[in-house]
Structure 1
Amino acid sequence: MIPLDRKDYITLRSNVENREEKETKIIQKLEPFINGKVGMYVPIKGEVNCFDEFKRYKQLYLPIVEDEQTMNFYKFKGKLYRGKFNTYEPSNKIKIEPLDLDVILVPMVGFYKMYRMGYGKGYYDRYLKQTKAIKIGVAFDCQKMDSMTIKKSDVAMDLIITESKTIWKQD
């Protein structure tokens, strides 16, 4: 059997059946963690959409990729615009320091054990190394991988939430 690659997992994620029902289950599991200053993402390419549910939360921060190496989170105040990578970004520039975030919801292309596959540029891993926030990977069950090469630069999630499971780091 040929292992799936990044593109295959993006396709699987984009074609999830009963998406609304599965996202509702994921959101219900996320709700107890939406406390303090929360880093979140606006979904692209079929990522789990928890943004629509939590966008009214007062202490919400969204990522902006600033250059080839740097991503930071900025306060969301209700307005978004299309950024340079065709992603939605907050319209203001009130930056939060990595150590000031309490929770970060992290999108995934796929996951293996407590590690995520992203888009391959390392933005989240570099940022996550700078924070003590609870790192919550958000994915659908179909994104679970049978194996993955874990690099030294990869950062483990504290928990991963899918529609059917909450996987804790110590599990």
Structure 2
Amino acid sequence: MDRKELIALREQVENRDQKEERIVQKLDPFMNGNVGIYYPINGEVNCFDDFKRYKNLYLPITQENGKMDFYQFTGKLYKGKFNCLEPSNKKKIDPLDLDVIIVPMIGFYKMHRLGYGKGYYDRYLKQTQAIKIGVAFDCQKLDHMDIKKTDVPMDLIITESKTIWK
């Protein structure tokens, strides 16, 4: 399956609310310290709504030069350069100060994630020692994936039915 097919599959997940609730319950014990999270797009697992009141939450802002940084979420979002919602606060966190980072996935194979293909997350994940938690629905599990040297494995992957540890 290519990325477009996987995104379409993810967008059509049945019983989404119940599955996301199970994922959020499994994530909850890891929500300690400074946490990087994302605002969901294209059918990504929505963990944000359940954790948006968490005080040490950081959201990514991507730049045209391929760089991504995380900025503190203080309750307000605005539509950024790539039509994604971004935090209005411009207090950037150093990658080494993040304790946990929740990572969206289009698909996954073993401990590796398939993203949108631009490498934003992989470049950022190389800079941090945070616990890397990929979140996905069971239907996003792949039977095979080409793994590149630049791909950063997750420390754990959480789906509605499994927690997979490195």
Gaps of 5+ in 2: none
Report whether the alignment pairs 1:9 with 2:6. Answer: yes
Q: Pick one of 146, 151, 163 that aligns with 1:149.
A: 146
Cα distance per residue 1:63-101 (max 9 Å; x no partner): 000232200000000000001111110001000000000
Identity %, equivalent residues: 74
Query: Given residue 135 of structure 2, which amino acid in structure 1 is its aligned partner?
Result: V
Structure 1 stretches of 4+ moved >3 Å:
none
- Among 75, 78, 81, the residue aligned to 1:81: 78
Which of 26, 38, 47 is 1:29 aligned to?
A: 26
Partner of 1:110: 107
Which residue number corresponds to residue 59 of structure 1? 56
Is 1:135 the counterpart of 2:132 in the alignment? yes
Where structure 1 has 5 or more consecutive residues not aligned to the other structure, the ranges are none
Q: Normalization by structure 2: what TM-score?
A: 0.99
Q: Distance in 1 between matches of 2:66 and 2:47?
A: 26
Aligned positions, number: 166
Matched, 1:69 2:66: yes
Which of 92, 97, 110 does residue 95 from structure 1 map onto?
A: 92
CA distance in 2, matches of 1:104, 1:73: 10
CA distance in 1, matches of 2:36, 2:110: 22
With normalisation by structure 1, the TM-score equals: 0.96
Alpha carbon RMSD of aligned pairs, Å?
A: 0.5
